[in-house]
Amino acid sequence: MNLGSASSSVSWKSSNNDRVSDQQFPAGLRVLVVDDDPTCLRILEKMLGNCHYEVTKSNRAEIALSMLRENRNGFDIVISDVHMPDMDGFKLLEHVGLEMDLPVIMMSADDSKDVVMKGVTHGACDYLIKPVRIEALKNIWQHVIRKKKHEFPKDKDFDQSTSVEDNGDRQQKPPEDVDYSSSANEGNWKSSKRRKEEEDENEERDDSSTLKKPRVVWSVELHQQFVQAVNQLGIDKAVPKKILELMNVPGLTRENVASHLQKYRLYLRRLSGVSQHQSGLNNSFMGHPEATYGTMTSFNGLELQALATGQLPAQSLATLQAAALGRSAKSAISMPLVDQRNLFSFENPKLRFPEGQQQLNNSNKQINLLHGIPTTMEPKQLADLHQSSQSFVAMNMQGNPRMQQNNTLLMQMSQQQPSRAQMLNETNNGQVSRPPLSMSQPLSSNGIRNSIVETVRGPVYNPVSQASSVVDFSLNQNAELQNNGFPLVRSNSGMSTLTSKRLLQEEVNSDIKGSRGFPAGYDIFEELHQQKSQEWGLPNVGSTFGASTDHSSIPGTLNVSPSMLVQQVSSMKNRQNGNSLPISKVFCSREESGSVNPMGGPQLNLLPSGNLLTVKAEQLPDTSYQSTFFPEQFGQDDLMSALLKQQESVGQVESEFSFDGYSPLDNLPV
Amino acid sequence: MQRQAASMKRSLFNQEYLDEQFNELEELQDDANPNFVEEVVNLFFTDSARLIRNIELALANGPYDFGRLDDMMHQFKGSSSSIGAKRVKRECSQFQEYCNGRNIEGCKRAFQGVKQEYATLKTKLDAYFQMAREAS
């Protein structure tokens, strides 16, 4: 067994999709085992080795995560202990699920039901009680197969109908299918998002699998409908049956809705938990049936609408910004800090914004945004982000007729951060050509979401020169939007909002730390918008673009414009990783001191446009965000330099954005 | 010699110093890792000494953080269970019960029990491995 090496000599380590090695499977299964107890770790290593797996061990979750990020396709499955000193096992689980979408098995000596349940709700594909026996490890390959199958149900390349599948998978599948449909869904969402962006609802008929029911792909539109239905009913009264009726989607079953609802509730709780931290907005969040999923209510609706209609005067925007930043009392927008990961994991596909108009007028929708955006932002930041996202969204809405894209995140981000954009622009140090943020259609729904995410991230609005020109994020060159003076992210080439979001996040993150300089993101935005209708005078927005989601594996794929990412990254991280900014780093949320920058973001396909780079949380340089690569499409060089400049000034992005003592899952009732 | 080692092992099991997890470890031993069990046990005693020390310090004086005590003991217990230290595990559970009851005196007493079993096991396993080595 090769220990500690991700490269395998067997055919396992080929492409992601082609995991199954015909002859040798499951031998060579690349397992990453994480446990802080050296005795257990050694034993597991030996056991896994005896199973002919290729084992890599780590006694620190952070290191494991960075290994995963650096080599996204280097592992097939992760086994992790629950109680670890440097990171809660569930957090790691979330990260991995969101960013890499690998199956994760949890282990613990604790066999109490609630902990096991926690594992289930967090998406663990299995839970082993310690001491672990080798028999329990022998069949872990089934989780890999299962996940693959679910991810690419229509991918006939991944031929499940091998004997492998028949062996263990079949028996295990039916029960597991039901139980883990949600977690599998996550993967599915991500991949399906990536691959089936246009499809409203994919009925995954995995005939070759042992699935008893077709897999429902929760596309953004579908999720949007779901959310609307839930809002209509009131979160407390939303039962699957009624939701199903309201949604009126043919082919959708009550079970589909039920499992989706479960995840959604989880997400909401996380959000509410987060907001509690922040400003107790949580209550509103959870307790308002038709409320915009919590916090955005008061502020959201109003602001967004205003924004949407472009009525919002610059002052308002500024106020928004301020509020977002937490300066003002506008914490109405309690953007629950949703762990980005979480959000994305199950929200992403759901982040569907109805056509622009709807969103604008639907405060609920706005809330959706929040929901959809898992971000681990400080309360204040959330609010900030939210606000910015709001405006963003509004802006996007107007401009983007076609928001069906999956670029939810992106859109949201871009949307959210109009102020950010502003900030970005304002602060842009260098004149780098920034790829226009694709705030376009996809942004609409997504954008809003994204923005929410962004805000959640913890709007770190560095008070950049407020007087500077307003970042003009013109969504789709939407003149109207611009007129409003909202910093619209121009989505020329379909810049993924993600990018903008990232920027924002980055900025936010940095702000969170409080030591952030002006995030580089600003630069990007500035470049992007040629038109600066108004001066937002908003503080740095969205610095937490990437920061918050350190592990933000954004489910679904956001195509973050590399430049944005770069910006973000650079701003986020003070460290200089050089120019390589992996797209995936988009969400290099937190920058933990000394920790790797989890820019390895989730794959974000924010915009369908081909220009967008799909962000895959692949390479997460060990160093902080810095390392990001510049996508070719954008004037990377310029961006880079701008970013680099930013970096100098940007403080350390809040590293543990998502881990700032916030355990979103803790709030979730089991 | 081998019989002696085997008989010693049997007695360890009978007296519940060890449980089936120890067997699991022995099954992992192979030609490539002929001393795997001993290696792991040594690893355990080395690493757990630190945990024991930390708990000791935490019990030294108040205010007592029962949550933290429980966490630490949980860690230690998990480690012990991985090598099949049955009696030690039992004492750990006892300790945790007192923790839950916020009974510091009970905790301190239970901790003495833990340390005692821990020390006894170490002695016995040292002897066992010695004998097993001589036997082979």
Nearest-CA distance A639 → chain B (Å) = 47
| Residue among B40, B74, B77 minimizing CB distance to A43 | B40
| Interatomic CA distance for residues A306 and A310, integer angstroms | 6
Range 62-121 of A in CB contact (< 8 A) with B: 83, 108-110
B51 token code pair: 């945990």
| Interface contact B1, partner A, CB < 8 A | no
| Interface contact B75, partner A, CB < 8 A | yes
Question: A582, A627 in Cβ contact below 8 A?
Answer: yes
Question: A32, A56 in Cβ contact below 8 A?
Answer: yes
| Interface contact B54, partner A, CB < 8 A | no
Please tell me the predicted confidence (pLDDT) of residue A167: 44
| Interface contact B39, partner A, CB < 8 A | yes
| Interface contact B71, partner A, CB < 8 A | yes
Please tell me the predicted confidence (pLDDT) of residue A270: 72
CB contact under 8 Å between A37 and B33, yes or no, is no
| Interatomic CA distance for residues A294 and A646, integer angstroms | 34
| Interatomic CA distance for residues A386 and A461, integer angstroms | 12
- Per cent of chain A over pLDDT 90 is 12
| Interface contact B96, partner A, CB < 8 A | no
| Interatomic CA distance for residues A586 and B114, integer angstroms | 49
- Average pLDDT of the residues in A590-598: 38
Nearest-CA distance A74 → chain B (Å) = 26
Closest by CA to A407, choosing from A564, A231, A219, A600, is A219
Please tell me the predicted confidence (pLDDT) of residue A474: 39
Closest by CA to A583, choosing from A568, A565, A609, A605, is A565
More confident residue, B1 or A276: B1
| Interatomic CA distance for residues A157 and A534, integer angstroms | 52
| Interface contact B40, partner A, CB < 8 A | yes
Pairing mode, strands A104-108 and A77-81: parallel
Q: Which residues of A touch B71 (CB under 8 A)?
A: 83
Query: DSSP characters for A26-94?
Result: TTT-EEEEE-S-HHHHHHHHHHHHHTT-EEEEES-HHHHHHHHHHTGGG-SEEEEES--SSS-HHHHHH
| Interatomic CA distance for residues A454 and A541, integer angstroms | 9
CB contact under 8 Å between B78 and A108, yes or no, is yes
| Interatomic CA distance for residues A556 and A97, integer angstroms | 11
CB contact under 8 Å between A46 and B33, yes or no, is yes
For residue A547, give the 3-state DSSP assignment.
helix
Q: Which residues of A touch B28 (CB under 8 A)?
A: 43, 46-47, 50, 134
| Interface contact A40, partner B, CB < 8 A | yes
A550 token code pair: 């350190």
Please tell me the predicted confidence (pLDDT) of residue B70: 93
> Residue A310, CB half-sphere, CA atoms under 13 Å: how many?
19
A286 token code pair: 């959870």
| Interatomic CA distance for residues A227 and A241, integer angstroms | 14
Beta-ladder partners of A127: A106
CB contact under 8 Å between A108 and B33, yes or no, is no
Question: Which band of pLDDT confidence, cut at 50, 70 and 90, is reported for residue A237?
Answer: confident
Chain A residue with CA closest to B29: the answer is A46
A504 token code pair: 């924002």
Chain B interface, best mutation among A36, A43, A48, A666, by max B CB count within 10 A: A43
- Average pLDDT of the residues in B102-108: 94
Q: Which residues of B touch A108 (CB under 8 A)?
A: 78
| Interface contact B56, partner A, CB < 8 A | no
Q: Is the pLDDT assigned to residue B46 strictly greater than 70?
A: yes
Question: Which band of pLDDT confidence, cut at 50, 70 and 90, is reported for residue A553?
Answer: very low
More confident residue, A461 or A195: A195
Beta-ladder partners of A145: none
Please, what's the b/e burial string for A201-218 (b: 16 or more CB within 10 A of its CB; e: otherwise)?
A: bbbbebeebbbebbbbbb
Closest by CA to A615, choosing from A663, A553, A658, is A553
| Interface contact B27, partner A, CB < 8 A | yes
Q: Which residues of A touch B40 (CB under 8 A)?
A: 39, 42-43, 46
Please tell me the predicted confidence (pLDDT) of residue B135: 82
| Interatomic CA distance for residues A13 and A31, integer angstroms | 11
Query: DSSP characters for A447-505?
Result: IHHHHHHHHHH--------TTSPPP---GGG-HHHHHHT--PPP-SS---HHHHHHHHH
**Lowest-confidence segment of A49-58, A71-80, A178-187, B25-34 by average pLDDT:** A178-187
| Interatomic CA distance for residues B105 and A167, integer angstroms | 54
Closest by CA to A343, choosing from A175, A124, A537, A551, is A551
| Distance in angstroms between the alpha carbons of the first and the last residue of chain A | 39
A-B C-beta contacts closer than 8 Å: 56
| Residue entry with tokens 């979408």 | A101
Q: What is the pTM of this model?
A: 0.43
Q: Where are the beta strands (DSSP E) in A519-625?
A: 559-560, 613-614
Q: Which residues of A touch B27 (CB under 8 A)?
A: 134
Nearest-CA distance A109 → chain B (Å) = 5
More confident residue, B56 or A567: B56
Please tell me the predicted confidence (pLDDT) of residue A273: 65
CB contact under 8 Å between B79 and A39, yes or no, is yes
Please tell me the predicted confidence (pLDDT) of residue B118: 96
Beta-ladder partners of A613: A560
Chain B interface, best mutation among A46, A50, A88, A135, by max B CB count within 10 A: A46
- Average pLDDT of the residues in A504-517: 40
CB contact under 8 Å between B82 and A133, yes or no, is no
Chain length of chain B = 136
Pairing mode, strands A203-204 and A215-216: antiparallel
Region of A14 (left: φ > 0; alpha: ψ -120 to 50; beta: rest) is beta
Quick check: bond before A26 cis, omega within 30?
yes
Question: Which band of pLDDT confidence, cut at 50, 70 and 90, is reported for residue A215?
Answer: low
